[in-house]
Amino acid sequence: HVVRAIEHLSNTPRQVFIAQSLGYPLPIYAHLPFVAEPGGPAKLSKRKLDKYLKQKDFASLFAVGQTLAQRTGIAVDQETFNPVIVGFYRELGFLPDALLNYLLLLGWSLDESTEDFTRQQMIESFSLARVTKAPASFDPQKLVAFQARWMHRLPLEQKVAMCWPYLASAGCVDDAQDTSKSPHYTRVQQIITAADDRIKLAGDILEFDDFFVADGDLPYDPAAFDKRLKQDPVAADLLRQFREQLSELAEFTAASTEACLKQFVESQGIKFNQIIHALRVSVTGKAVGFGMFDTLAILGQSSSLARIDRALSLM
C-alpha cells in the first residue's frame, strides 16, 4: 500500500504510468483527507496562526503555551511553538497516546460511540475502509478532552514523573535524577492527588506553585486579596480567631481542619463562605484552588499559620 495525503492524488496517474512503463507492479494507493483548520474547510497551516487565534478554543490553548513558556524558559518561536506543530504539545505535557488517539479520529471511526483506543487497539481496529472522504476540522477543545482522560488514567508515580520537569524548570523543586529521594516528592504527590482532574496537562502543575513558595514571599492576587480580605469588614477578625483554633490542633490533617472550621462556623453563627474565601486567599494567594482542607494539610500547620499571620499584617 501507498498511504498518503489527498494532496498527492493528482500525482498518482503520472506515477502509475511511470511504474507501468518500467514493468513494476502497482501498489494499492490510498489518499487520506487532510486536517482542516478550526471551524473551516481549508487545510490546517502553521502560517495562519493569526487567523486561528481569533477562534476562542485555539487562542486559549495558545495562551496556555505562552504562559508555560514564560514560567519555564521555553524558547518561543512561531515556526515551532505553535498549536499546529506537534512539538508544541510535547512542550505543554500532552501524552503521545492522547494526541495519537485524537488524530486517529480525524477522518476515521470504528463505530458511532468508541473514542478511546490504546496503541494496540488502534493497530487492531484501523482499516482504510472506514476512512472518510471529507476533511475533519481540528478541535482544540476536544483534543484537550482526550488528554484529560488519558492523564486521569495514569498511575500517580507516572504523573509525578511527567510534572516534575516543569516544577524543576520553574525553580519550584530540585532537578533530581531520583525524584523519590527529593524532599519535595511527597508534597508533589499530595498536590497531584488533591488536584486530580485539575491537572489535564503535565504543565498544569505550575498552577499550584504557591505550595513551593516561602511563606514570607507568597504573592497575592491583588483583586482577590482586596475583595476577600481588605473590603470584607469581618474577615480580619474571623481569620484571627480561626487562626487561634488551628494553632491548637494536635493533629493537622484535612479531616481535623475541616472539623475545626465546622465547629468554628457553628460557634460564631456565621455562614461557611464568610470565612472560607478569606482563608483560601490568605494561605494560597489565590481565589480558587482544590479542596481547602487538603490545601491546609499539604501546607502543614506551621506554614498555614505563618501565611495567615502575613495576610493579617497586610490588611
Short-list 84, 190, 75, CA closest to 140: 84
C-alpha cell belonging to residue 215: 511563606
Q: Which of 128, 148, 168 corresponds to the end of one domain?
A: 148
What DSSP letter does each residue of 266-308 carry, written as one string? HHHT--THHHHHHHHHHHHSSS--S-HHHHHHHH-HHHHHHHH
- Domain, as residue range, for 53: 33-148
In a domain, 22, yes or no: no
> 222 and 238 in one domain?
yes
**Overall domain count for the chain:** 3
> 50 and 140 in one domain?
yes
Buried b (16+ CB within 10 A) or exposed e, 76-91: eeeeebbbbbeebbeb
CATH for 171: 1.10.8
Report how far apart, in Å, the C-alpha atoms of 65 and of each of 38, 52, 132, 203, 287 are. Answer: 18, 15, 31, 9, 22
> 175 and 89 in one domain?
no
In a domain, 2, yes or no: no
Q: Look-up: residue for cell 476540522?
A: 137
Query: How confident is the prediction along the chain (315 residues), in pLDDT tens digits per residue?
Result: 899 999 999 999 999 999 999 999 999 999 999 999 998 889 999 999 999 999 999 999 999 999 999 999 888 877 778 999 999 999 999 999 999 999 999 989 999 999 999 999 999 999 999 999 889 999 999 999 999 999 999 999 999 999 999 999 999 998 877 888 899 999 999 999 999 999 999 999 999 999 999 999 999 999 999 999 999 999 999 999 999 999 999 999 999 999 999 999 999 999 999 999 999 999 999 999 999 999 999 999 999 999 999 999 998
* pTM > 0.75: yes or no: yes
CATH for 74: 1.10.1160.10
> 128 and 159 in one domain?
no
> 219 and 208 in one domain?
no
What is the number of other CB atoms lying within 10 angstroms of the CB of residue 226?
13
Q: Which of 173, 196, 212 corresponds to the end of one domain?
A: 212
The answer to whether the CB of 33 falls within 8 A of the CB of 135 is: yes
